[in-house]
Structure 1
Amino acid sequence: MSQFWESNFIEKQKIWGDAATDLAVDAADLFMREGLSNILIPGFGYGRNAMEFIKRNIKVTGIEISQTAIKLAQDHFSNETKIHHGSVAQMPFDDTKYDGVFCHALLHLLEEDERKHCIDQSYRHLTKGGLMYFTVISSLDSAFENGEKIGHNRFQSPHGVNLFFYDESAIANEFEAYGLIEAQERQEPLIPKAGSKGQRFWKVLCRKEQ
């Protein structure tokens, strides 16, 4: 997967533009209301979502598999924003405790053992009372069953990307052991652009026990 994303960022640079996702704005608002001040973002990309947290005076540390994406991010972030280069499958990269984790549209790209590792390590990074906010693609998304089936709820897209689509059972199976407090389906963006269906995600919130 490393080469896939590196090639995409080299060719397309800021693939998704500069604007943050609506789900990232929702997470940043929630984290601000909760008084969080230091968070980890696995799957940092070039930082379009991270800016929403920084605007709210929340310190951000990232993990990103693409060196090109990191270079793009460094054009917009100060040296105070640390970005670890590597896969989330290699976590942990440090022993820092964070009071929040935000991970958007990453887990469903991973193998089952990698998903479990990312969730587990994110939880281990949390301070007591800290929040994890994951977004994962839903089995109600229009891309479900579009492509070659390679496993339960798992398909290879026409572009060659392996996707695991989450339903309620998968959410419970992967997150209940990590303080699951909320799971709801969301449209991204909230108001799709003309000619676009947008995507269906699960918003998954977990809180580490006090």
Structure 2
Amino acid sequence: MNTSLLQRFGAIDIYLFDQLLKGRFDGCQKVLDAGCGGGRNLVYFLQNGFDVYGNDQNELAIEEVRILSKRLAPHLPTTNFQVASVEAMLFPDTTFDMVICSAVLHFARDKAHFDTMVRSLWRVLAPGGFLFTRLASTIGLENRIVPLGHGRYFLPDGSERYLVDQQTLLNYTQELGGELFEPIKTTNVQDLRCMTTWCVQKM
């Protein structure tokens, strides 16, 4: 990989990178990565003057992202990064101009847990703000997955995930009062799993 690109963007989700190239988030100030891990999607934002926050239920991941933040954006307080699950975030309502949640929602235990996580993300998003999510889905893989109950499936890659279909995402978009700012897109990974990008603006 080009070293300068890696330094500028980190190991960023390629679909999040696509939105940056389109200038989608140029007007955003406060950014949250919900389920941030070690901060792979935050390098660009930390280096470009955004007010960056993150949470993850893994304490070691939060320590890692705090170290990253101290190196790239030393003015940010370490308290911006909190140990908490997506459904139990302590951030105030309507705080963020942009919320990222990449490869997290498919770890929901069941429909109720998924619903709680989605509504938690929506709660902290400000009006006009952007919600960027990527999650495993049934789209394009309907005949190769085994239902386990409660919205969970066994995938050909050997994993178990909570999966949604396109209609579920469209229903949430309408119910939450949002609008898609990018069409729903799904990548089929060699018929082993499908990852869907769901991008919603809070109106």
1:84 equivalent in structure 2: 82
- Preserved contact between residue 88 and residue 120 of structure 2 (Cα < 8 Å): no
Q: 1:66 to 1:158 in 2, by over 3 A?
A: farther
Unaligned runs of 5+ in 1: 1-17
Q: 1:159 to 1:142 in 2, by over 3 A?
A: closer
1:123 equivalent in structure 2: 122
Q: Secondary structure at the match of 1:45?
A: coil
Q: 1:73 to 1:184 in 2, by over 3 A?
A: same
- Does residue 1:202 correspond to 2:201, yes or no? no
Residue type matched to 1:39 in 2?
A: V
Q: Secondary structure at the match of 1:200?
A: strand
- Preserved contact between residue 40 and residue 102 of structure 1 (Cα < 8 Å): yes
Q: Secondary structure at the match of 2:114?
A: helix
Alignment of 1:4-23 (within 5 A): 19-23=11-15
- Preserved contact between residue 46 and residue 69 of structure 2 (Cα < 8 Å): no
Q: 1:160 to 1:201 in 2, by over 3 A?
A: closer
Q: Summarize deviations over 1:165-199 as a string: whole Å, max 9, x none.
A: 222122123332220324422439xxx8xxx7896
2:97 equivalent in structure 1: 99
Residue type matched to 1:94 in 2?
A: F
For these two proteins, the number of residue pairs brought into alignment is: 184
Q: 1:63 to 1:155 in 2, by over 3 A?
A: same
Q: 1:134 to 1:94 in 2, by over 3 A?
A: same
Distance in 1 separating the partners of 2:57 and 2:129: 25
Residue type matched to 1:56 in 2?
A: N
Q: Select between 155-164 and 167-176 the one with higher mean Cα deviation.
A: 155-164
2:171 equivalent in structure 1: 173
Distance in 1 separating the partners of 2:157 and 2:165: 23
Alignment of 1:106-117 (within 5 A): 106-110=104-108, 111-117=110-116
Distance in 1 separating the partners of 2:150 and 2:50: 38
Distance in 2 separating the partners of 1:99 and 1:168: 25
Residue type matched to 1:137 in 2?
A: A
Q: Secondary structure at the match of 1:134?
A: strand
Of 136, 160, 170, which aligns to 1:162? 160
Residue type matched to 2:30 in 1?
A: N
- Preserved contact between residue 102 and residue 132 of structure 1 (Cα < 8 Å): yes
Q: Summarize deviations over 1:106-155 as a string: whole Å, max 9, x none.
A: 11111322221222122221222111111122324669845x53126521
Distance in 1 separating the partners of 2:47 and 2:143: 35
The TM-score, its normalising length taken from structure 2, stands at 0.75
Distance in 2 separating the partners of 1:109 and 1:24: 20
Q: 1:200 to 1:169 in 2, by over 3 A?
A: same
Between the two proteins, what is the percent identity of the paired residues? Answer: 21
